Amino acid sequence: MKETGKKKIAVINGPNINILGVREPEIYGKASWNQIEKELKKEALKLNLDIVFFQSNHEGDIVDFIQENLFFLDGVVINPAAFTKTGYSILDALTATGIPFVEVHLSNINARESWHAETIFSSKAAGHINGFQSYSYILGLYGLNHIISKEDSMDESDGR
C-alpha cells in the first residue's frame, strides 16, 4: 500500500482518447474524456482507491510514465488505443514491472473490422473489457480492484 494507505491505480490512454466526444461518437460514445475522468474519480472514491490519469499520443511518453511510477502503482487500467497492435514497448514496460493491468476499449473491437480485434496486450492482461463505451473504464476499474484485493487477501491468508 502507498503512503495514503490506499491502492494507487493509473488509468493510461493512448492516442486520440483526448478527443472523445468529438471523435466518431457513434462508435466511441458521446462522453468526453473529462466526463469519463470525473466518473472514474467518483468510483475510485467509493472503492477507496487513489487514481491518476495519463494520456499521450506518443508511445515513449507512456513508457516513461509507467517507468517513473512503477514503485507507486498497484495496478493499471489501460486503453492502448492505436498502440493496441504495435505498442510493444508499452507492453514490455507493463510486464517488466509485474503491475497487474486490465486492457479496456470503448468499442467492441471484436465486432469491427478484423484488424481492430488484434491486440498484443490481452494475453498478458489480468482482464480485458471492450464494447461498453465509457462504462468500459468503470468495469475495468472494478475488475482491477477485485484482482488487487484478491492478491492482498491471498497474501494475508498465507502469512505474508
Residues assigned a catalytic role: 28, 105
Query: Cα separation of 75 and 100, whole Å?
Result: 5
Q: Which residues contact 24 (CB under 8 A, 6 or more apart)?
A: none
Angle at 152 between CA 55 and CA 77, to 5 degrees: 15
**Residue 54: what residue type?**
F
Q: What residues have CB less than 8 Å from 158, skipping those under 6 apart?
A: none
Bridge partners of residue 12, in order along the sequence: 54, 78
Q: Residue-wise over 48-64: b if at least 16 C-beta within 10 A, else e? A: ebbbeebbbbebeebbe
